[in-house]
Amino acid sequence: MLPFVIKRLVSLTLSLVAASLVIFFVIEVVPGDPASFMLGLNASPETVAALRDSLGLNASAPIRYWQWITGLLQGEFGISYTYKVPVRDLILDRIWISMPLAVYALILSTVIAFPVGVLAASRRNSPTDVSIMGVTQLGIAVPNFWFGMLLVLLFAVTLGWFSAGGFPGWEAGFFAGMKALTLPAVALALPQASILARVMRSSLLDTLGEDFVRTARAKGLTRRQALWRHALRNALIPVLTIIGLQFSFLLAGAIIIENVFFLPGLGRLVFQGITQRDLIVVKSVIFLLVFAVILVTFIVDITYAIADPRLRRARS
Amino acid sequence: MSDLHVEPSLRAGMVYAALRSPSFMIGLVLTLIFIAAALISFFWTPYDVTQLNIADKLQQPSAAHWFGTDAFGRDIFSMIMVGARVSIAVALVAVGIGIVVGVPLGLLAAARHGSLIDEIIMRTNDLVFAFPALLMAIMITAVFGPSAINAITAIGIFNIPVFARLARGAALSLWQRDYVLAARVAGKGRARISAEHILPNLANLLIVQGTIQFSLGILAEAGLAFFGLGTQPPLPSWGRMLSEAQTLIYIASYVAIFPGLAIVFTVLGLNLMGDGLRDIFDPKLRRAR
Amino acid sequence: MALLEIENLALSIKGTPILRDIDLKVDAGEVAGVVGESGSGKSMTAMAIMQLLPVGTQWQGAIRLDGKALETYSEKDMCALRGNDIGMVFQEPMTALNPVQTIGDQVAETILVHSGKSRSEARRIAREALNRVGLPEAQFPLDRYPHDLSGGQRQRVVIAMAIALQPKLLIADEPTTALDVTTQAQILRLLKQLVDEDGMGLILITHDLAVVADMADHIVIMKEGEVVEAGNTLDLFRRMKHPYTKALFEASSHVPVRNPVHVAERGEPVIEVSSVVRDYPLPRRSLFKAPGHFRAVDNVSLAIMRGENVGLVGESGCGKSTLTRAILALDPIQAGEIKLNGGVFSTSGEGPDRDMRRRVQVVFQDPYSSFNPRHRVDRLIAEPFHLLESQPDRADKRRRIDAALTNVGLSPSDAHKYIHEFSGGQRQRIAIARALIIEPSLIVLDEAVSALDVSIRAQILDLLADLSDRLAISYLFISHDLSVVRAITDRVLVMKSGQVVEEGSTEDVFRDPQHAYTRELLAATPILDEALKAREARAAAK
């Protein structure tokens, strides 16, 4: 097991280095001169020169990359050009909205998808299965931001159960915070839950057709016991991959949803960063999101090995 | 991927299976409606979508304006027709990029399985996968500014590893087939075998994945446009219509409803068609699921 | 009262009749053999006894266990019966076990679902069951996972699961088909021993007449969902009333007639393999150590003369497939040299010579994966033309395709059909046509008849013998099936762990094997005549 973890850690580090190079290249090298890009066409040469100086842009690209990376390792992301405060502080303010939102949505989608997928698989071709498949087909087709708007229309505008957006801050209490995140989390979670439920169902159906399930039935297990004790754990292995992938979709989706619900999270920050051409903010937040995605992939790989004894050996 | 083959003489049987598959037929009809709407919009729309008409703003749906009008008095039905054009074009080109670049890469990786080039292709794929399409688009637009071309690039780049992985995985299993060994014994090289024996037997799989990526592309384009990173005015797009509707939702909910439904039905149509195709191509799968 | 009685069993799936009028009786302590080719309905009969039938199955007739009719059992009663009163062993040991559960837990589960015993008590019984099937604690502790075990060992675990509660009836559905002969012999011995010790009834389902002749007290022969003949083993083989039984019997021990043309001057060997070595790299264990390698073919030499048929036998993992790939120049070799008709074909340094490649062609085992399903037969069998310097013109090509098809007993009009229009045996003929078309001097037959039913196998063997006689082609015949090798080859090589351990004329090797491993192989191979003779001797002694 340990060599396996070490191998995955090496690959995690390599991915992070590669990702940081890509981000640095696209944002700092491709535009030519980031300083004049950030200031726009009307800036005077003096202001551009001053900004270049303050951003340390006169150094060569490799040196700037090195400075960026060593800064990141120390938790220093640079100073935002528009907010004039350390980007680290901007991120720390907002991550406590984006993270809980993504995790909340992930839990919701898993909790919904799991039983629904198992139910559909165990009653294959029944009316229950057919309706579940129909609803999930619809769920996949719904864009989450539009679904968010419909939720606002129904629960905020018509029924008045929730506020249409905004975030009271965690100071207002855990439940007030969670309540404000509920509609956005549901908007994010339902389309993902539809995908997950379908994957769960088809993976379970595949496993139910395996020889070892027949062996279990020959031992005298009921259909139900064979499903829960033998098929399910084997069926979970592909489902784990999808859950890992979904986390990255949820993070990205959160960027849009935060704008629908006016949540002051990382998504708003990136959005503002783009409209104000604040490349320092954009660069750091994107790296942070990519880091989260790669980290989740790593965790999924490790979980994989725990779920499947064959991998502990084969891959290490 | 239990069986990739469609026996050619079964094609007549497949047409029959297609006609009997309700999901395929519903999907096909929905997809054709939107393609027709997009094509017709080049020649005719009920109203001119570039013409602002403040006097007619925020009209409820009526005989004159089937889906009502927006805050500038433009006809929403006409805008949806033109929007279909943008959505379909962006998604189609993005899928095209994915297939044209991704499939050869996947075939190459499979033909050179275990070599350095395979390793490089797959690692690069993993890396691209770590940037979801939206993040990719944000990065690109942050530097190049928002436009339809950038949206296509971002979605297209994200499609490359999808098709590369799919092609590689399926090709690897085909390389194990005895008929590939027989071709090697007949002295054929890797490139020729890939073209003659591997690619044609991947076609069905690629068509199915293509329809799925097409629908994902439409969703992604809508997301980007909603975020202001896609198609720019004056050309209407479904995503931007929704983002403009966001502030109007309290007074005129239909402004938000119709473009949303357009997205849902297009995506639903493509997905149903993809599912139906998968069943039709693979009768074994149809029995199993 | 018999332990199991099946009377007039008829079964259909979604309206398609599968079984008709099946009668079968098994007494305690008795072995009943059910024999048939693929599609005969033998496995479905087993699943009917277990009541584990596919959705949409309907059946009539009577299945009685201990006099109690199964149709009166609810699904819950059946669950109490399965694993407790009836145990079952399946064909594919590699997939029959849950990959994410230890073998101990899987065996103990049989005990836990059927009795109120504690977990530790169940594990104790599981331990005993595993000991009984020859998996002692020292090497096979309860916490091992299936992926650590070989096919034969996994089959033993499946058997342990089936017999843990000492059921009255054990059903074994092709339990040794996926295993090597020596493992097969061990598993069959184990089943026999368990039946004797526990007084179980055993239903042994197989396609192999030699296996049932050795094992079964009485036999049921099935064809297309019906019983064509049944009876006491000796009586049945003596009488063989039904023509199908006779045909099956003849096909099982079929020896094709050979009339080799006398090639007066045999001259240079068609192929000469000298000291060939083939290493596989092992997965890298550490970043700092060079990866090791596994020597799959170790210093092997062989030569085949014109018109000569040479057999290469060995069990899975012995290196015969790797050697085949090296001879076909599909993989590089690490040392040695392969010559064709006296010219160097491939060496460790250089790749194969394209011009020579046309002198060796191949027929593979699986008739279903040997052809690109998108091409027509003419294109399929014309593929080796790629190796010719200049492509034949249309008419010539046409003529040669027709000739190849006629040679293998098909008609020129088959050229325009797609491969799915042919049966397994016909596909194997097309594979042979593809190998013949550029007139090679050697055809490698890689388990070419192993996937075929015995009756089809006999026809293909006849075809091969005929082609070799008429066209003076040499064969390298690779097989795990010794009786087939004996029937068709002039000379035989026995391989074990990458080395040739014995070589000689087929008759000599089979009659008087020198190497201990060859003797072991031969002893393990079930032979119909000998099994019947032994059975007669036993009957006479009684």
Question: Residue C220 has what pLDDT?
Answer: 93
Confidence of residue C178 (pLDDT cuts 50, 70, 90): confident
**With a threshold of 0.80, does the pTM exceed it?**
yes
Question: Residue B11 has what pLDDT?
Answer: 59
Range with top average pLDDT, A246-255, A274-283, B220-229, C196-205: C196-205
DSSP H or E stretch at residue C11: strand C4-13
Range with top average pLDDT, B47-51, B71-75, B271-275, C301-305: C301-305
Nearest residue, CB atoms, B183 vs list C369, C373, C383? C383
Question: Residue B286 has what pLDDT?
Answer: 40
Judge whether residue C430 has pLDDT over 90.
Answer: yes
Nearest residue, CB atoms, A219 vs list C83, C95, C147? C83
Q: Does B287 touch chain A (CB under 8 A)?
A: no
Judge whether residue C50 has pLDDT over 60.
Answer: yes
Question: Residue C130 has what pLDDT?
Answer: 92
CA neighbor of C156 nearest in space, from C119, C114, C126: C126
Percent of chain B with pLDDT over 70: 90
- The amino acid at residue A93 is D
Asked if C98 and A309 come within 8 Å (Cβ–Cβ), the reply is no
> A-chain residues within 8 Å CB-CB of C95?
210-212
Question: Residue B288 has what pLDDT?
Answer: 35
Using a 10 angstrom Cβ sphere, with 0-12 exposed, 13-18 middle and 19 or more buried, the burial of residue A149 is: buried
Nearest residue, CB atoms, B7 vs list C362, C366, C420? C420
CB-side exposure of C96: number of CA atoms within 13 Å?
A: 29
Nearest residue, CB atoms, B182 vs list C357, C370, C373? C370
Confidence of residue B46 (pLDDT cuts 50, 70, 90): confident
Q: Nearest-CA distance from C372 to chain B in Å?
A: 6
Q: Does A37 touch chain B (CB under 8 A)?
A: yes
In angstroms and rounded to an integer, the radius of gyration of the C-alpha atoms of chain B is 22
Q: What is the dihedral of CA C106, C110, C111, C112, to 10 degrees?
A: 80
> A-chain residues within 8 Å CB-CB of C147?
309-310, 313
The tokens of A200 are what? 């769960």
Judge whether residue C268 has pLDDT over 70.
Answer: yes
Nearest residue, CB atoms, A217 vs list C52, C145, C158? C52
| pLDDT, chain C, mean | 87
pLDDT tens per residue across span A197-221: 988 998 898 888 888 999 999 998 9
Question: Residue C349 has what pLDDT?
Answer: 67
Using a 10 angstrom Cβ sphere, with 0-12 exposed, 13-18 middle and 19 or more buried, the burial of residue A191 is: buried
Q: Which class is domain B8-49+57-288?
A: mainly alpha
Question: Residue A60 has what pLDDT?
Answer: 77
Asked if C371 and B179 come within 8 Å (Cβ–Cβ), the reply is yes
Range with top average pLDDT, A236-240, B239-243, C101-105: C101-105
Judge whether residue C376 has pLDDT over 80.
Answer: yes
- Determine the Cα–Cα distance for residues A132 and A134; give it in Å rounded to an integer: 5
User: A6-38 burial, b for 16+ CB within 10 Å, e for fewer?
Assistant: eebeebbeebbebbbebbbebbbeebeebbbbb
Judge whether residue A311 has pLDDT over 70.
Answer: no
- Determine the Cα–Cα distance for residues B207 and B203; give it in Å rounded to an integer: 6
Q: Does A13 touch chain C (CB under 8 A)?
A: no
* Chain C 354-413, residues with CB within 8 Å of chain B CB atoms: 354, 357-358, 360-362, 364-366, 369-374, 383-384, 386-387
* Chain C 434-493, residues with CB within 8 Å of chain B CB atoms: 434
Judge whether residue C262 has pLDDT over 60.
Answer: no
Mean pLDDT of the C287-297 span:
74
Asked if B5 and C370 come within 8 Å (Cβ–Cβ), the reply is no
Mean pLDDT of the A107-125 span:
90
Asked if A256 and B135 come within 8 Å (Cβ–Cβ), the reply is no
> A-chain residues within 8 Å CB-CB of B286?
none
Judge whether residue A222 has pLDDT over 80.
Answer: yes
> A-chain residues within 8 Å CB-CB of B222?
143, 146
Helical packing angle, B199-226 and A232-260, nearest 10°: 30
Q: Nearest-CA distance from C80 to chain A in Å?
A: 6
Q: Does B263 touch chain A (CB under 8 A)?
A: yes
Question: Residue B4 has what pLDDT?
Answer: 43
Asked if B143 and A248 come within 8 Å (Cβ–Cβ), the reply is no
Question: Residue C104 has what pLDDT?
Answer: 92
* Chain A 177-206, residues with CB within 8 Å of chain C CB atoms: none
> A-chain residues within 8 Å CB-CB of C96?
211-212, 214-215
Q: Does C420 touch chain B (CB under 8 A)?
A: yes
Judge whether residue B8 has pLDDT over 80.
Answer: no
Instruction: Give the chain B residue nearest C367 (alpha carbons).
Output: B178
> C-chain residues within 8 Å CB-CB of A216?
98, 109
Number of Cβ pairs < 8 A linking chain A and chain C: 72
Q: Are A223 and A217 in contact (CB under 8 A)?
A: yes
Q: Does B87 touch chain A (CB under 8 A)?
A: no
> C-chain residues within 8 Å CB-CB of B197?
372
pLDDT-wise least confident of B100-104, C6-10, C69-73: C69-73
Q: Are A19 and B131 in contact (CB under 8 A)?
A: yes
> C-chain residues within 8 Å CB-CB of B179?
369-372
Question: Residue B12 has what pLDDT?
Answer: 62
Confidence of residue A18 (pLDDT cuts 50, 70, 90): confident
Question: Residue B289 has what pLDDT?
Answer: 32
Q: Does B19 touch chain A (CB under 8 A)?
A: no
Judge whether residue C372 has pLDDT over 80.
Answer: yes
Question: Residue B254 has what pLDDT?
Answer: 78
Q: Nearest-CA distance from B110 to chain C in Å?
A: 16
Judge whether residue B25 has pLDDT over 90.
Answer: no
Question: Residue C290 has what pLDDT?
Answer: 67
Q: Nearest-CA distance from A293 to chain C in Å?
A: 27
**DSSP-assigned beta bridge partners for residue C343:** C340
pLDDT tens per residue across span B206-246: 888 888 888 888 888 888 888 877 777 777 888 888 888 77
Question: Residue A314 has what pLDDT?
Answer: 44
Mean pLDDT of the B141-170 span:
84
pLDDT-wise least confident of B47-56, B153-162, C247-256: B47-56
Asked if C418 and B197 come within 8 Å (Cβ–Cβ), the reply is no
Nearest residue, CB atoms, A15 vs list B130, B219, B246? B130
Across the beta sheet with C335-340, what order do the strands follow? C293-304, C271-281, C335-340, C343-347
Q: Does B179 touch chain C (CB under 8 A)?
A: yes
Q: Nearest-CA distance from B210 to chain C in Å?
A: 21
Question: Residue A116 has what pLDDT?
Answer: 93
Choose the mutation target among B1, B21, B123, B135 for the interface with A, i.e. most A CBs under 10 Å: B135
Choose the mutation target among C98, C282, C285 for the interface with A, i.e. most A CBs under 10 Å: C98
Nearest residue, CB atoms, B268 vs list A138, A149, A202? A138
Question: Residue C263 has what pLDDT?
Answer: 56
Q: Domain ranges in chain B?
A: 8-49+57-288
Judge whether residue B287 has pLDDT over 50.
Answer: no
Question: Residue B10 has what pLDDT?
Answer: 54
Question: Residue B2 has what pLDDT?
Answer: 37
Q: In Å, what is the CA distance from A191 to each residue of A139, B68, C10?
A: 5, 28, 48
Question: Residue A315 has what pLDDT?
Answer: 38
Judge whether residue B108 has pLDDT over 60.
Answer: yes
Helices (H), chain B: 11-20, 22-41, 76-111, 116-129, 133-144, 148-175, 178-185, 190-193, 199-226, 238-245, 254-281, 283-288
pLDDT-wise least confident of B3-7, C223-227, C309-313: B3-7
Mean pLDDT of the A280-286 span:
83
Query: Could you give the 3-state DSSP secondary structure of residue C293?
Result: strand
* Chain A 183-222, residues with CB within 8 Å of chain B CB atoms: 202, 205-206, 209
**Tokens 């129909």 correspond to what residue?**
A134
Q: Which chains touch A (3 or more CB pairs under 8 A)?
A: B, C
CA neighbor of A288 nearest in space, from A105, A91, A97: A91
Judge whether residue A32 has pLDDT over 80.
Answer: no
Number of Cβ pairs < 8 A linking chain B and chain C: 64
Nearest residue, CB atoms, A143 vs list B127, B250, B263? B263
Sign of CA dihedral C75, C80, C84, C89: positive
Would you mind telling me the total number of residues written for chain B in this entry?
A: 289
Judge whether residue C312 has pLDDT over 90.
Answer: yes
Q: Which chains touch C (3 or more CB pairs under 8 A)?
A: A, B
| pLDDT, chain B, mean | 80
Judge whether residue A316 has pLDDT over 60.
Answer: no
pLDDT tens per residue across span A247-274: 777 877 788 888 888 888 888 888 888 7
- The amino acid at residue C304 is I
Instruction: Give the chain C residue nearest B10 (alpha carbons).
Output: C420
Question: Residue C201 has what pLDDT?
Answer: 92
> A-chain residues within 8 Å CB-CB of C169?
none
Asked if C374 and B8 come within 8 Å (Cβ–Cβ), the reply is yes
Percent of chain C with pLDDT over 90: 27
Question: Residue A312 has what pLDDT?
Answer: 61
> B-chain residues within 8 Å CB-CB of C353?
none
Nearest residue, CB atoms, C100 vs list A221, A225, A307? A307
pLDDT tens per residue across span A142-181: 988 889 888 888 887 778 787 777 777 777 778 888 888 8
* Chain B 89-108, residues with CB within 8 Å of chain C CB atoms: none
pLDDT tens per residue across span A42-66: 777 777 777 777 767 777 778 888 8
pLDDT tens per residue across span C212-255: 988 999 999 999 889 999 989 888 888 888 898 888 888 888 88
Range with top average pLDDT, A83-87, C179-183, C511-515: C511-515
